[in-house]
Amino acid sequence: MTAMGDELEQTERTTVRRLAERGRFDRATANAVIDEAYIAHVGFVVDGEPRVLPMTYGRIGESLYLHGAVGNAMLRASTDAEVCVTITLLDGLVLARSAFHHSMNYRSVVLVGRAVRVDDDAEKERAFDAIVDHVLPGRGAEARAANPSESRKTLVLRLAIEEGSAKVRAGGPVDDDEDLDLDVWAGVIPLAVVPGPPEQDPDQRLRGLTSSEPERARLSR
């Protein structure tokens, strides 16, 4: 069941069925999506019913880390259980001449597998760093690290990035031939997540602290 090398493992449950030509199974594509997005939608089953919650995460190599409070009901339900972690980047709105062929440009990753609790303190520390660095590169080294009490209060789950698939749509609308002369504007509206100017906690200025705000380059994905 272990994925070897540069490819994700393609199984019955991760085969891209719908528009299969959009499927990607190389780790490079999947990792690029994982690293660029900020949040994952994590699916788990409670009493036979689906639940989906948005969560932050971090990646170290072929491991994805989730975390939350030890009392977090959802994380507890996901521990040693099958989860589905879906991460989506929306790149554009695709406006076709026909309503039917409207679409969106996107890059998404779907990972499935068993989420296991991380008990090793050193791995937990690395996971915390990865999760904070995922928000802003280098931030893990700047912020005050988690102390033992904070670490005890935090449940960390690891999911192997192993069984899954990516899916990518790019490019313009694909209309039917008989619609091509319709005088309805067709094309793509690109979308991007753009950071605004950093808003410093006013309390820091009152205290006369001089740490500098994150440079724009660090914020670009």
Q: Which stretch binds a copy of itself (CB under 8 A): 2-10, 22-30, 64-72, 157-165?
A: 64-72
Is the CB of 5 or the CB of 202 nearer to a copy of itself? 202
Q: How many residues bind a copy of itself (CB under 8 A)?
A: 96
Measured CA to CA, the distance from residue 191 to residue 188 in angstroms comes to 9
Choices 57-65, 116-124, 157-165, 199-207; region in contact with a copy of itself by CB under 8 A: 199-207
Distance of alpha carbon 32 from alpha carbon 19, whole angstroms: 21
Q: Can you tell me which of 60, 79, 86, 117 binds a copy of itself, judged by CB under 8 A?
A: 86
Does residue 164 interact with a copy of itself by CB under 8 A? Answer: no
Task: Report d(CA 104, CA 189) in Å as an integer.
Answer: 9
Residues 6+ apart with CB under 8 A from 104: 90, 91, 92, 93, 94, 169
Three-state secondary structure along 51-94? EEEEECCEEECCEEEEEEECCCHHHHHHECEEEEEEEEEEEEEE
Asked if 209 interacts with a copy of itself (CB under 8 A), we say yes
Q: At a CB cut-off of 8 Å and minimum separation 6, what does 45 contact? A: 51, 77, 81, 82
Q: Which of residues 103-142 bind a copy of itself (CB under 8 A)?
A: 104, 106, 108, 110, 112, 128-129, 131-132, 135-136, 139-140, 142
- Binding status of residue 204 toward a copy of itself by CB under 8 A: yes
For a copy of itself, the binding residue among 6, 21, 80, 99 (CB under 8 A) is 99
21 binds a copy of itself (CB under 8 A): no
- Contact flag: residue 85 with a copy of itself (CB under 8 A): yes
Q: How far is the CB of 53 from a copy of itself (least distance, A)?
A: 7
**Shortest spacing between CB 12 and a copy of itself, in angstroms:** 10
Reported as half-sphere exposure (CB side, CA atoms, 13 A), residue 112 has a value of 12
